Structure 1
Amino acid sequence: MRVLLQRVSEARVTVEGRVTGKIGPGLLALVCAMPGDRPEDAAKMAARVAKLRIFRDEAGRMNLPVTEAGNAILAVSQFTLAADLRTGNRPGFSRAAPPEEAEARYEDFCAALRDLGITVATGEFAAEMQVALVNDGPVTIWMDSS
């Protein structure tokens, strides 16, 4: 599983003119399931995201996880994180999990975050989405379960 995190002051996802998910301060998590990812992998990645200390404490240092900062997560499925650019100029996506498997792992990831007490807003799986965000910092972190 791959997750690209961006610390945001706000973010939202729109599908066909309607907002499907919106948060204030927190994390935008672009989530990509890879072939063979299991529910346990999604739960492990969610736990890592929840513990990542990238929010400012009273001294202004990146020292708080999303759970202690009281922030939310906007999770958006993003199969293009599996892009293969080794040959040619057109990315290949065969390294992404098939849609049924990917949707299940995305849902597992979101459920695991909620089980940890985090407020989670979402995009809409397999939809054309417009994602708007204000990157805070900027802070962008790449995570890979392998």
Structure 2
Amino acid sequence: MLGMGVVADQTGAGPESLQADGSITSRTIKGPACKSPVGRCFVATFEGTLEGPAEFVANSVKQTPQPGMILINGNFVIHDKRGDITCIEDSLLNTAPGSDGEPDGEFVFLCEITGGTGKWAGATGHLQATGNLQGMEGAARYIGKMNVKE
């Protein structure tokens, strides 16, 4: 079952710490709808602790020393029903051909939360995910810890 664990500060002061988990489905966006300087964008849907649409716009793409592995940095906005969450994401994507000649598309990301709106105003913390990107479609599982002001 997907859910949210709440760990409150024992003194009653300070931020509320929320544990997050769930799933993400995504679709690559190309053409004029993608405002990335390096041409990498996607839209996503979050389910679980966070629920709603999201979008990612890449700022940079760099080849790593390992063949077929690229590092992608960009801005991620999640439109949760309680407000928006903004974060800076770094992803590592395997673009090397698999046994069938097509990339298997394994990826991981770490998204450092930089703020938000509504419930997420002033939020900090992180989200991390692992998944696969096949062609234009992706699927992942995420977990994270978010610190929000009460």
| Fold similarity call, TM over 0.5 | no
The TM-score, its normalising length taken from structure 1, stands at 0.30
Larger Rg: 2
The TM-score, its normalising length taken from structure 2, stands at 0.29
Please identify which structure carries the higher strand content: 2
